[in-house]
Amino acid sequence: MKSNTELKIYNSLTGEKETFTPIHAGRVGMYVCGPTVYNDVHLGNCRTFVNFDVVYRYLQYAGYKVRYVRNITDVGHLEGDADTNEAEDKLAKRARIEQLEPMEVASKYTNGFHDIMRIFNALPPSIEPRATGHIPEQIEMVEEIINNGFGYEANGSIYFDVPKFIQVKGIYGNLSGRVVEELQSETRDNLKKQDEKRHPADFAIWMKAAPEHLMRWKSPWSVGFPGWHLECSAMSRKYLGETFDIHGGGNDLKFPHHENEIAQNVGACNCGGANLWMHANMLLLNGKKMSKSDGNTISPTQLFTGDSPHVTKGYSPMVVRFFMLQAHYRSTLDITDDALQAAEKGYKRLMESNKILQSLTLKGGKQTEIDNEINALIDSTLEDMSDDFNAPRALARLFELCTKINAFKGGQLDINQITEGSLTRLKSTFNDFIFSIFGLQDESVAGEGGQSALEGVMQLVIDLRAQARASKDWATSDKIRDGLKAAGILLKDGKEGTSWTKE
């Protein structure tokens, strides 16, 4: 344990910052809701996964052995988050449109998601379970829920009985603050469509598949597929146990997804799942929630290449990651071109200062006021991260340290005013923060992580250009080539494909 400050985490379930005490000393079980792999991941999704990457990294830095489970949703998530079997499965719909097997759709977008996560230098989770790989576990959970009296069958579909659950357990709505009367009036309009349900707040845990539905499995009730909320209950329980430490996701999942997850866990095994719920806030684009449906969106690739009306130029993955670190995970973050330009400057300054710092040496240093200040800043940086992962505040302290580092270099401050031990501590903490905790890479250094991130981006851009060329979209193909040239990267088309060099 490098930091001796106790870790405090805001628990959405209690609405309070709590001292974190893992169930098993020294070990943490963390489950984060992963993407629904029916289209390209958007930057908002990336923000949530980068936020939890920093949480994962900091827990490890603090000395915990972490089992991080992040699922892949490849079945059951219906259009409009509905749960009537009239709504189409997001993946099945994409398979129909693209004339692919649903598994082909899932593989294509899972691969794309992994590529983007690698480019953002997000660590892979310890386990990445797929919903379609856990159908027996989900069927078993439905059986338990029925046996405990919280599920009922209607035409081969099984619904979770919310009023009964409230009557017996009295805890539905604790996470989201919703009350059933509210739910009832909210969903009254849909009642006609949902007449299989006894109550509008009930939700499907197993759905009978319509004849044209592509994804279907045998169950005791019908040939069908599991409800979306069920997979996370079944998979977190399988890999982390009936009670585990942390469950995370974007705050748009609080209701109904997470609320229903808790109800399912309690309904099946009388166990609540996670002790602590963490919710990351939304990424906005020019002040509005980033979402694909109203066109207010920018993809990671568009941001890297600058091929979007929302930006004046391309920004590198590490600049974007740095930009994300500048907001607390529980605050919204508004992506604007101006803010990205500022982040680019900040990122470069941080990397430059670290290079300077690592080359500093001293002879006969002593403990002075400056030495105390530096040590206090280092302590505060660790305290900030232990205070509900306050990355922006920790980052601000690093910038205060950058000012001192640059003053040592420029001679405005005498390096011998700090001790050898303090300089060593400063070097290692700075390095640890930038690379291990914040997960940044130095893009100016060839051969280090920076180069591999650039290689990843280049592969992505080259693939996009090849796609444009294959569909004779010469305008896009030329735009990519010219844009890269302006950024000092030359493309060369050859027999073996396209290669690139830096000017």
Q: CB under 5 to 8 A by kind: which of ligand AMP, Zn ion, none does 151 bind?
A: none
Cβ closest to ligand AMP, residue 72 vs residue 319 = 72
Nearer to ligand AMP, 252 or 379 (CB): 252
Question: Of 256 and 450, which has the nearer Cβ to Zn ion?
Answer: 256
What residues contact 354, with CB distance under 8 A and at least 6 apart?
A: 430, 431, 434, 442
Among 119, 232, 303, 394, binds Zn ion (CB under 5 A): 232
Taking the alpha carbons of 450, 452, 455, 457 in that order, is the dihedral positive or negative?
negative
HSE-up of residue 282 (Cα within 13 Å, Cβ side): 13
Q: Which does 236 bind (CB under 5 to 8 A by kind): ligand AMP, Zn ion, none?
A: none
Q: From the list Zn ion, ligand AMP, none, which binds 232 (C-beta under 5 to 8 Å, kind-based)?
A: Zn ion
Q: How many residues bind Zn ion (CB under 5 A)?
A: 2
Contact region with Zn ion (CB under 5 A), list: 224-232, 291-299, 383-391, 424-432 = 224-232
**Smallest separation, CB 244 to ligand AMP (Å):** 18
Cβ burial of 405 (10 Å; 0-12, 13-18, 19+) is buried
278 belongs to the binding site for Zn ion (CB under 5 A): no
* Cβ atoms < 10 Å from Cβ of 194: 19
Stretch of residues binding Zn ion (CB under 5 A), selected from 129-137, 226-234, 270-278, 460-468: 226-234
| Phi/psi of residue 207, nearest 5 degrees | -120, 130
What residues pair up with 284 in beta bridges, in sequence order? Answer: 289, 334
Nearer to Zn ion, 233 or 441 (CB): 233
Report d(CA 45, CA 278) in Å as an integer: 15
Residue at shortest CB range from ligand AMP: 250
Q: Which residues of 339-358 are buried (b: 16+ CB within 10 A; e: fewer)?
A: ebbebbebbeebbbbbeebe
Would you state the torsion angle of the CA atoms of residues 170, 388, 437, 33, taken in this order, to the nearest 10 degrees? 20
Does 274 bind Zn ion (CB under 5 A)? Our answer is no
Which residue lies nearer to ligand AMP by CB, 340 or 370? 340
Nearer of residues 33 and 357 to Zn ion, judged by Cβ: 33
**Shortest spacing between CB 74 and Zn ion, in angstroms:** 13
- Find which of Zn ion, ligand AMP, none residue 352 binds, CB within 5 to 8 Å per kind: none
In the complex, least distance from residue 248 CB atom to ligand AMP, rounded to whole angstroms: 8
Q: Which residues have CB under 8 Å from 336's CB, separation 6+?
A: 286
How is residue 348 written in tokens?
A: 């470069």
Tokens linked to 354: 């670290």
Q: Is 78 in the site for Zn ion (CB under 5 A)?
A: no
Question: In this complex, which beta carbon is closest to Zn ion, that of residue 33 or of residue 262?
Answer: 33
Residue nearer to ligand AMP on the CB measure, 150 or 225: 225
In DSSP terms, 500 is beta-bridged to: 491
For tokens 């827990």, the residue is 59
x-or-dash pattern for Zn ion, window 15-44, by CB under 5 A?
A: ------------------x-----------
Q: Of the two residues 47 and 164, which places its CB atom closer to ligand AMP in the complex?
A: 47
Handedness of CA 286, 292, 294, 299 (dihedral sign): positive
Contact residues toward ligand AMP (CB under 6 A) are 33, 35-36, 44-45, 47-48, 73, 249-250, 252-253, 282-283, 289-290
- Are 102 and 91 in contact by the 8 Å Cβ rule? The answer is yes
Residue 290 interface partner, choices Zn ion, ligand AMP, none, CB cut-off 5-8 Å depending on type = ligand AMP
- In 157-304 the beta strands, taken as DSSP E runs, fall at 157-160, 203-208, 224-226, 243-250, 273-280, 283-285, 288-289
> Please, what is the minimum distance in Å from the beta carbon of residue 202 to Zn ion?
19
Judged by beta carbon distances under 5 to 8 A according to partner kind, the member of Zn ion, ligand AMP, none in contact with residue 48 is ligand AMP
Contact residues toward Zn ion (CB under 5 A) are: 33, 232
